[in-house]
Structure 1
Amino acid sequence: MRQAAHTLVVQTRGQGLHEFTREAAGWAAGQGMTTGLLTLFCRHTSASLLIQENADPDVACDLEDYFAQLAPESSAYRHQDEGPDDMPAHLRTALTGVQLSVPLVSGRLALGSWQGLYLFEHRARPHRREVVLHLLGA
């Protein structure tokens, strides 16, 4: 059994889904393991991780619209330290999560045909986000 770890940096342009499948899959394939489990962990409380469809961009737009309605910007939140998008970002992260696991099979991530790995940026302005990858396998 072997393990490897790496931190990916995802530079966001503001709110929305930012795909990083190619970077994560390339790193995992480069570790020389054939079978294992990749754990992905977002090191932030106002951005989250998703496995989502990567074929039709309308899926991302609909997700963004849904979460904007579910946790809207508002002055009604007690936590306002970093602006009106801060607390809704924390709520959206709580609902979506910061950790994913993807099996490694035959040296490749076992994602489905239309699945991609996304960092879901919940803040309005651009951010430099870190996603820690940990691969355990053989």
Structure 2
Amino acid sequence: MADQIAGKGRDDLVVSDADGQHLRRTRVSTGSRSWFRTALRAAELEPMALHDLRHTAASLAISSGANVKAVQRMLGHASAAMTLDLYADLFDDDLDDVAMRLHAAVSASDLGKAWGSQDIGE
């Protein structure tokens, strides 16, 4: 994508025709009328479905540390449960991160000792 955006302004189209305009549906050598397939060929990218970009965006957001509520809003899902149903496997690394942070927090303070030594009646 870096080649596609080189020299373009903030409001310029990433994939455009030679004049910088929106791609129009045109028949190409394979007979395709899809603007997306035309754009993929022009960018010399592998064929993919347009919806694959949505999954890629979700995966990139999750891997960059976005929480499930942020990803839910980004994708327009009705609930965080729906987002987790689709992308739960991408959040698996979060469990290890939470465990390491909890261990570090308890090790760095007397918090664990204070809780364990309190009388129930107090």
TM over 0.5: no
TM-score of the two chains, using structure 2 as the length reference: 0.25
**Whose RCO is larger (CA < 8 A, sep 6+)?**
1
Higher strand share: 1
Bigger radius of gyration among the two: 2
Higher helix share: 2
TM-score of the two chains, using structure 1 as the length reference: 0.23
